[in-house]
Chain A
């Protein structure tokens, strides 16, 4: 029995990847780990519940969506564009990091995380939430509930979530255009 493969090409962190022969049934997370050594999208449950494995899907219309790589096949991403946690910070021509993303900086400022294992998923989730608020600003009085609902999809065992929440709220409030007055 041989494992059936297909060629896969996609864009990851602004770089073209592929074409590579990838087993047809391989999950995206295994592809990121085993083929590309992008280990930041973490295996927490393998069932799409804890969201430690998520990546940003950058859609053709420019909007962002959070995707779970532990339950989505690698080939689903063929021709699509994604951003993994390794691709959020800005880098210079040599690949050295010059500036963290606003979400990453906010998480550090607020001491949002502890062991860091679930953190890539929270970076992804918060980045997508900010994008959604940019497109569809929220009323101020609804903001807490909206953040809470977004973070509620992610499981963290260390922190108690409060500082993830505070970091996102602080970032939303100081980013112009996300909250309707």
Chain B
């Protein structure tokens, strides 16, 4: 089946950068032939099931496995005592921020299976291995846990209160980190001298990540080589392989991680999880592959969750509405253990991403990170970026309402102007590119900001409340990391890109092939992608923080240049000319000023099939290059939502949604727009529907799709989407990263619109999720 029968000579024009090329990934997936981890079975594999704590907090007094061990099909049961002393672990948190007094962050030790205490409902305490999955699950239910239940603490605020239940002896007051950034004195002076101060206490609600593919893993062990292999979803095999090796106490060379298709991740599947360690342990001891696949009800309690922070946000303004300073004072809930990036979101990323596209000269963040009896908080689409941006954009709307300045006008007065770039922000970032006023004006125009009064009248006539909200954003993408750019000219005439980012739904093969095709003129349909096998990589920063096309794209561009250097030497040899006279254009090496040339694919073919070359020449065109980390980029945009609310039911309908985004160079506009659709709807889910509710004992009350409201097709609006890209200078592609921006735009635009609609009822702020009940209550609060 040939989906695109373009002649080869058209290939780089039709499949180049900026073209909406259909995804190579799609035909396989639409036929149901994707190979996700659970689709894989290894010969002789056994099946695992986990025994998890039913209590949020307690001391493990005993684990009785005798009844379970006697059950049919059961091969082995492992508890924390079996895992202890094997040289494994701990599961590491990678964030090393200091406390404001200079002392180091407190990182309590987490081993794969709890031995002393359990710290959240879902905390794994044992693993059963059996011949079949059903036998393993049945036996897991027969493991008897003797847990002395302790009082639980659920919210970060409660965890830091005097007299709160203590999770760890080594973490007094449940305080992991007391983070501070910014000049407190200058900020205090700015607030003291301000004409107006806006203040809001804002919750950023806990989210269950819920990729539709549950986590799964198959562990195996090669006794001869002493080497582990894990098949599991991930966001990049190179870094996770290293972390897995560290968790198992072996050198990286004795660990292989293989990732096939991944059914969504959104930050969550990038971590080493306890299950990985126990599965690898079992595979080594039992000399057989061991497979585990999560059940959805387990995912709800055992996956890392996202967000969960509460901040007192403050904005100081002068009499003309100019921003003087912001101060964010809050608490990040870490859950019962620190995930690899747990303390990053409520601290660093709030600071970096609250600045936005505004000329605020002073920013202060003081954040306390607290452990609680809930699942660990990990990265979730934006990982602190949408949260920081949401706090700022809600503050601006509050300030606009209080000062009587139109919310668009207030933003406009504070936008950084193109002539002021490069702009050094108070938190150390330097914006290199963008045209924020023009982008902002385009969004207002697209949203018909001026024509709002008529729409408001129509809604009121129909008995509805109507509101509009702006959500501007400027995100700081992931910190720099190296990335591999491997280009291999294969015996079958194809060209393989080898790189360490990993597509978990975005579609990388297609845009990476577009970049390569643009650089080398390699026919698009000859390009393959290798991303999911750690044995094939020499470097890899992985996917996260919206950086894949910036990192892998830059790596491919640099690797292409190395291919061209080699190719010039080789072409000179075959064309009998001096290498200095060879030029490379349109996929062909040519003697300058002549029509004597050889195409890159023909050259590769000749290298494969021709006579041996002199030893001073390159023997192939292949390149294994490592791109040295590029700095963060600054994707930005403006989203504007209008909502209608039925005051009788509290039901919100998003009446219109407009977005204008600057992602710099866009490699594949179709993919970019899709990323925005998905990100915006995840934000709509968080803003209006998704509630992660616990009872006082720490039991999750919204632990299934029946109780936890995922956004559905009937909940989402159509989008007006526009790109207004100004290429960035921070990476070779000029791209700015679009993967997480949707959430950054939709949380504030939707919630600002909801609060605007409710303002006639005296509502000044409403926390997410703005469910019908919450809205109805806010309307009737004064009754």
A residues sitting closer than 8 Å to B (CB atoms) are 1, 33, 39-47, 49-50, 52, 84-86, 88-89, 97-100, 104, 107-109, 111, 113-120, 123, 148-149, 151-152, 154-165
Name the residue of chain B whose CB is nearest to the CB of A156: B212
What residues of A have a CB within 8 angstroms of the CB of B705 in the complex? 45, 47, 49-50, 155
B426 adjacent to chain A (CB < 8 Å): no
Q: Is the CB of A161 within 8 A of B713?
A: yes
User: Which chain B residues (492-541) contact chain A, with CB distance < 8 Å?
Assistant: 504-507
Our pick among A84, A152, A155 for the contact of B212 (Cβ within 8 Å) is A155
Chain B residues with Cβ under 8 A from A47's Cβ?
A: 296, 704-706
**B682 sits at the interface (CB 8 A):** yes
**Nearest-CB distance from B236 to chain A (Å)?**
15
- A46–B678 Cα gap in the complex (Å)? 24
Contact A43 B293 (CB under 8 A): yes
Which of A84, A113, A160 lies at the interface centre, i.e. has the most chain B CB atoms within 10 A of its CB?
A160
* B582 beta carbon closer than 8 Å to chain A: no
Would you mind naming 14 contact pairs between A and B with Cβ atoms under 8 Å apart?
A33-B39, A43-B293, A44-B212, A45-B296, A45-B704, A86-B32, A97-B1, A115-B264, A116-B25, A154-B713, A157-B266, A159-B677, A160-B678, A160-B711
| Most B C-beta atoms less than 10 A away, residue of A84, A149, A163 | A163
Task: List residues of chain B with CB under 8 Å of any chain A CB.
Answer: 1, 3, 22-23, 25-34, 36, 38-39, 72, 210-214, 261-264, 266, 293, 295-297, 504-507, 670-671, 674, 677-678, 680-682, 704-706, 710-714, 716, 718-719
Helix, strand, loop or mixed for chain A's interface?
Answer: loop
- Given A40-B31, A115-B212, A115-B213: A109 and B22 interface contact (C-beta under 8 Å): yes
A179 to chain B, nearest CB (A): 19
Q: How far is the CA of A86 from the CA of B30 in the complex (A)?
A: 9
Cβ of B671: which chain A residues have Cβ within 8 Å of it?
A: 111
Please, how many angstroms separate the alpha-carbon atoms of A118 and B211 in the complex? 10
User: Which of B27, B30, B212 is in CB contact (< 8 Å) with A42?
Assistant: B212
- Which B residues are in CB contact (< 8 Å) with A152? 712-714
- Shortest distance in angstroms between A85's beta carbon and chain B's nearest beta carbon? 3
Q: In the complex, how many angstroms separate the beta carbon of A95 from the nearest chain B beta carbon?
A: 12
Query: For A88, what are the chain B residues with a Cβ–Cβ distance below 8 Å?
Result: 31
Question: When chains A and B are docked, how far (Å) is the Cα of A154 from the Cα of B296?
Answer: 15
Inter-chain CA distance A34–B719, complex, in Å, is 41
Chain B interface main SS type: loop
Report if A100-B36 is in contact (Cβ < 8 Å); known contacts: A46-B296, A111-B23, A156-B212: no
How far does the Cβ of A51 sit from chain B's closest Cβ, in whole Å? 10
Tell me whether A100 and B39 are in contact in the complex, defined as CB-CB below 8 angstroms, given that A42-B263, A108-B22, A162-B716 are known contacts.
no
Shortest CB distance A126–B (Å): 11
CA gap between A42 and B1 in the complex, in Å = 25
Q: Are A43 and B38 in touch, CB under 8 angstroms?
A: yes
**B29 A116 Cβ-Cβ under 8 A:** yes
Docked Cα-Cα span, A154 to B1, in Å, equals 29
Give every chain B residue within 8 A of A46 (Cβ-Cβ): 295-297
| Complex Cα gap A154–B212 (Å) | 11
CB of B507 within 8 A of CB of A114, answer yes
Q: Quick check: A115 and B262 within 8 Å, CB to CB?
A: yes
Q: Tell me which of B23, B214, B718, B719 contacts A43 (CB under 8 A).
A: B214
* Cβ-defined partner of A50 (8 Å) among B1, B212, B293: B212
Given contacts A114-B507, A155-B705, 7 further A-B contacts (CB under 8 A): A46-B295, A100-B30, A109-B22, A111-B22, A114-B674, A160-B677, A160-B716
Partner of B263, one of A108, A116, A149, A163: A116
Contact B39 A39 (CB under 8 A): yes
Residues of A within 8 A of B714 (CB): 148-149, 151-152
Number of A-B residue pairs at CB separation under 8 A:
165
Distance (Å) between the CB of B26 and the closest chain A CB? 5
Docked pose: A98 CA to B31 CA in angstroms: 12
Which A residue's beta carbon lies closest to that of B25?
Answer: A116
A100 touches B670 (CB 8 A): no
Contact present for B31 and A104 (CB under 8 Å):
yes
Nearest CB of chain B from residue A37's CB, rounded to whole Å: 9
> Nearest Cβ in chain A — how far from B437, in angstroms?
28
Top 4 closest pairs, chain A to chain B, by CB: A40-B32, A115-B505, A116-B29, A117-B263
Q: From residue B172, how far is it (CB to closest CB) to chain A in Å?
A: 39
* Distance A41 CA – B31 CA, assembled complex (angstroms): 11
Assuming the contacts A42-B213, A160-B680, A160-B681, asked whether A120 and B26 have C-beta atoms less than 8 A apart, the reply is: no
B72 surroundings in chain A (CB, below 8 A): 1
Partner of B1, one of A99, A115, A123, A165: A99
Set B23, B33, B680: member contacting A40, Cβ < 8 A: B33
**Smallest CB–CB gap between B745 and chain A, Å?**
13
For B28, give the chain A residue with the smallest CB separation. Answer: A116
Expressed in whole angstroms, the Cα–Cα distance for A94 and B473 within the complex equals 53
Across-interface contacts of B713 in A (CB, < 8 A): 148, 151-152, 154, 161, 164-165
Inter-subunit contact A119/B716 (CB<8 Å):
no
Q: Bound state CA distance, A84 and B22, in angstroms?
A: 25
Distance in angstroms between the alpha carbons of A46 and B137 in the assembled complex = 14
Question: Assuming A47-B296, A117-B263, A152-B713, is B674 touching A111 (CB within 8 A)?
Answer: yes
Contact of B31 among A33, A85, A156 (CB under 8 A): A85
A118 to B264, CA, bound (A): 10
Instruction: Please give, as numbers and ranges, the residues of chain B lying within 8 Å of A89 by CB-CB distance.
Output: 31
Q: Once the chains are docked, how many angstroms separate the CA of A107 from the CA of B72?
A: 46
Q: Across the interface, do B26 and A117 meet the contact criterion of CB distance under 8 Å?
A: no
- Complex CA–CA separation, A88 to B27 (angstroms): 12
Given A115-B261, A155-B705, A155-B712, A108:B30 Cβ within 8 A:
yes
Residues of B within 8 A of A50 (CB): 212, 296, 705
* A113 in contact with B26 (CB, 8 Å): yes
> Contact between B704 and A41 (Cβ–Cβ < 8 Å)?
no
**Which A residue sits closest to B706, measured CB to CB?**
A49
Q: Name the distance in Å between B509's Cβ and chain A's nearest Cβ.
A: 13
Q: Do A49 and B212 touch (CB < 8 A)?
A: no
- The complex places the Cα of A50 from the Cα of B299 at a distance, in Å, of 14
- A44 to B293: give the CA distance in the assembly, Å: 11
In whole angstroms, what is the CA distance A50 to B709 when docked?
11
Give A119 to B28 CA distance when docked, in angstroms: 11
A117, B212: Cβ atoms closer than 8 Å: yes
Residues B34 and A116 in contact, CB atoms below 8 Å apart: yes
List, in ascending order, chain B residues with CB within 8 A of A157's CB. 210-212, 264, 266, 678, 682, 710
Contact status B670-A111, CB under 8 Å: yes
Q: List the B residue with the shortest CB-CB distance to A25.
A: B134
A18 to B189, CA, bound (A): 80
B32 and A158 contacting across the interface, CB-CB below 8 Å? no
